[in-house]
Amino acid sequence: MTSLAEVQSAFGRAVLGGDFSALTPYVRTDGISAAGRIGVYRNNVVTSLTALLADRFPVVERLVGDGYFSFAAESFIRAAPPGQACLDGYGSEFPSFLAAFPSCAALPYLPDVARLEWKLFAIARAEFAEPLTLAALAGLNADTAANLRLRCDPAIDYLASDWPVDRIWQAHQSDVAEANINAGACRVELRRYDKKLTIRALAPAEFAFRSALAGGSVLGEAVTLAFEESGDFDFFQALATLFSEQWVTGQNDPATSQEGT
């Protein structure tokens, strides 16, 4: 007797992998063949997921053209189909998939453009958090300040690339300019202000400081990393700027809190 488990496993292989053989014997073929009928569902699945990826990686699509994008997307969908009912996280692995995709090797900056687009997509949907003012650090004990952790606004992220992906991305927001792909590396801060997404290039020391803090490093580690980039790093100025830019949305002072201990 046919069980639902067999049918569903065969259907999964048909719509995601394109192998119709196991499903075909179950399908009623009045008027239209089994392949024709299964094809309707396979087409729905592949085109809707491709459209979802194109929506999340529009600059990647423009760089490679929609024909090639569909080919890469279909390969990705086959290799890494969605694992969750909520598709918000789908596509997070697309940048690393592109990095390993042999025919993308001619565009070495493509995976980092994809990383930039994914981070922008993610911060656009991030939760809202109230900023702290510098007064929150009023009771800070100088001995334990190095172990302080600051919580970054969830709508902020960082990206470092060997390629000028910020300029490449910017050039594709309008048709006016072609980006010079030989313009060198970039270190950028990505941020949602209200509904607007912004990309800002940072100096190496400031990037090291902020990205380390955002990644969960304690203040002492972040300062060390910043000084490794530049001996001129102005720690007090950098810390004050975090607060004036409403970057800090929480803190864990080891002297006053048990959190994280």
Partner 1 sequence: MAEILSDRPALSWVEVHPENYLRNHPARAALHQVRRDVPVSLHGVALSLGSYDGLDRGHLRELRFLADEIGAGLVSEHLAWSRVGGIYVNDLLPLPYTDETLAIVCRNVDQAQEALGRRILVENPSSYLGFNHSCIAEPEFLAEIAARTGCGLLCDVNNIFVTAENFGLDPVGYIDALPAAAIGEVHLSGHFRTSREGQKLLIDDHGDRVCPEVWALFRHALGRFGSVPVMIEWDKSLPPLAVLQDEAARAETIAGEVVRESCFDIAC
Query: Which positions lie near partner 1, rule CB under 8 A?
Result: 2-5, 7-9, 11-12, 15-16, 25-28, 30-33, 36-41, 44-45, 48-49, 52, 81-89, 124-128, 195
**Least distance to partner 1, CB of residue 224, Å:** 34
In the bound state with partner 1, the residue whose beta carbon lies nearer, of 32 and 100, is: 32
Kindly tell me which of 122 and 199 has the beta carbon lying closer to partner 1: 122
Contacts 24+ apart (CB under 8 A), 135-144: 136/248, 136/251, 137/251, 137/253, 139/253, 139/255, 139/256, 140/253, 140/255, 141/253, 141/255, 143/255, 144/253, 144/254, 144/255
Burial of 28 (0-12, 13-18, 19+ CB in 10 A): exposed
- Provide the minimum distance between the beta carbon of 250 and partner 1 in the complex, in angstroms, as a whole number: 16
Query: Which candidate, 68, 69, 77, places its Cα nearest to that of 43?
Result: 77
Angle (nearest 5°) at CA 115 between 112 and 118? 155
Specify the residue, 15 or 132, whose C-beta has the smaller distance to partner 1: 15
Question: What whole-number distance in Å separates Cα of residue 161 and Cα of residue 168?
Answer: 12
For partner 1, the closer of residues 26 and 133 by Cβ is 26
Give me the least distance between CB of 260 and partner 1, in Å please: 24
Q: How far is the CB of 23 from partner 1 (least distance, A)?
A: 9
User: How far is Cα 216 from Cα 222, in angstroms, rounded to an integer?
Assistant: 9
Residue among 7 and 107 whose Cβ is closer to partner 1: 7
**Cβ at position 93, least distance to partner 1 in Å:** 14
The answer to whether residues 159 and 115 touch, using CB atoms and an 8 Å cutoff, is yes
- State the distance between the two ends of the chain, measured CA to CA, in whole angstroms: 58
User: 7 or 145: whose CB is closer to partner 1?
Assistant: 7
Q: How far is the CB of 114 from partner 1 (least distance, A)?
A: 20
